[in-house]
């Protein structure tokens, strides 16, 4: 109970700090969202009318008053689940805008993270078990090379080759003419539109799991309990899976939980490259347009997701490895 209470206390304190920073950071950016909206409607070269800016600020519900009053109002609205109206997609609420993009990102990023984790852990464990072999060299060198590449750069390359040159896949959007819903035409279009973004992420994302799992397992293979298991005559597969890989997997559990927790942030650059209708593209638009309500909500969801995932990983780690509980007891 002491271990669990300490983790929950840290979670609550960190969440409060995140909420406060989430309030402050957008307001430290230069520019006024009301002025941006007026310029967009009147033209970039048009002179700003203070009365129009004031009216636009009132219409958008832009923050006004002292910073402390804004902070108190922000906390009150946050408790009631009222995230305000989106400046970019006015007059739609932030909840409606995020709700439309949420599942696009969840399907794309969760799928790529799960596949990357499984592939990375399996390849890393096998390369460690067969260390110094040809397979280990290929996996290690290949992972090191691919790890230097960025997903958005790979996305641009895939988009040029398979989208514009050969025309096998769509170049933007999430679907075309199908009616959104659980129907085969829409599923076909959604899969074809998300294939290239998913491939761009899958080429790079497993690298961390491969190298991390390989290095951790190689360290574990030198431990005394591995030598004892081999001395007992246990089969190699049993030693690799039940002893070495199981203990090497523990650090990856935390990393995987954090990766899933950050799913709400999406893959900003990849979604922007493919104009994919997910949360990552929304965040880029919110930053560009000084859309405080949308930006704050997206940042809050992302950081809160990471914190919840980290808490779950800590609790799970305590179950998988009792030494963690005893160390903090």
Say if residues 158 and 200 touch (Cβ distance below 8 Å).
yes
Smallest CA-to-CA distance from 86 within 288, 286, 301, 300 is with: 286
What is the rounded CA–CA span in Å between residue 55 and residue 41?
A: 13
Q: What top-level class would CATH report for the domain 94-328?
A: mainly alpha
What is the rounded CA–CA span in Å between residue 281 and residue 270?
A: 9
Structural domain boundaries of the chain? 2-79, 94-328
Does the pTM surpass 0.85? The reply is no
Per-residue pLDDT of the chain (329 residues; tens, 9 = 90+): 677 788 788 888 888 888 888 787 767 766 666 666 667 666 666 666 677 666 766 665 556 667 788 788 888 888 888 887 887 887 788 888 888 888 888 888 888 888 888 888 888 888 888 888 888 888 888 888 887 888 888 888 999 999 888 888 888 888 787 777 777 888 888 888 888 998 988 888 888 888 888 888 888 777 777 788 778 877 777 777 777 777 777 777 777 776 766 665 557 788 888 888 888 888 888 877 777 788 888 888 888 877 887 787 777 766 665 555 555 55
């Amino acid at each position: 109970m002491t271990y669990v209470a300490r983790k929950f206390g840290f979670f609550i304190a960190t969440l409060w700090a995140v909420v406060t920073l989430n309030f402050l950071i957008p307001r430290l950016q230069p520019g006024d969202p009301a002025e941006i909206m007026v310029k967009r409607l009147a033209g970039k070269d048009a002179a700003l009318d203070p009365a129009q800016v004031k009216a636009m600020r009132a219409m958008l519900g832009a923050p006004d008053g002292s910073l402390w009053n804004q902070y108190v109002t922000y906390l009150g609205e946050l408790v009631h689940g009222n995230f305000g109206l989106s400046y970019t997609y006015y007059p739609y609420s932030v909840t409606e805008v995020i709700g439309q993009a949420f599942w696009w990102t969840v399907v794309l990023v969760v799928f790529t993270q799960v596949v990357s984790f499984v592939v990375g852990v399996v390849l890393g464990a096998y390369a460690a078990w067969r260390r110094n072999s040809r397979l280990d060299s290929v996996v290690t060198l290949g992972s090191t090379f691919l790890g230097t590449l960025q997903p958005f750069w790979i996305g641009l390359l895939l988009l040029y080759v398979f989208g514009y040159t050969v025309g096998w896949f769509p170049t933007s959007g999430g679907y075309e003419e199908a009616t959104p819903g659980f129907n085969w035409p829409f599923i076909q279009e959604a899969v074809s539109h998300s294939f290239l973004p998913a491939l761009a992420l899958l080429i790079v994302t497993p690298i961390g799991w491969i190298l991390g799992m390989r290095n951790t397992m190689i360290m574990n293979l030198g431990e005394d309990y591995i030598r004892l298991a081999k001395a007992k005559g246990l089969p190699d597969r049993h030693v690799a899976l039940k002893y070495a890989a199981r203990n090497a997997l523990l650090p990856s559990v935390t990393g995987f939980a954090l990766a899933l927790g950050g799913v709400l942030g999406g893959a900003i650059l990849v979604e922007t490259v493919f104009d994919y209708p997910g949360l990552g593209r929304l965040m880029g638009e919110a930053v560009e347009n000084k859309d405080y309500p949308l930006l704050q909500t997206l940042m809050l969801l992302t950081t809160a997701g990471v914190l919840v995932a980290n808490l779950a990983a800590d609790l799970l780690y305590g179950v998988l490895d009792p030494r963690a509980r005893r160390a903090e007891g």
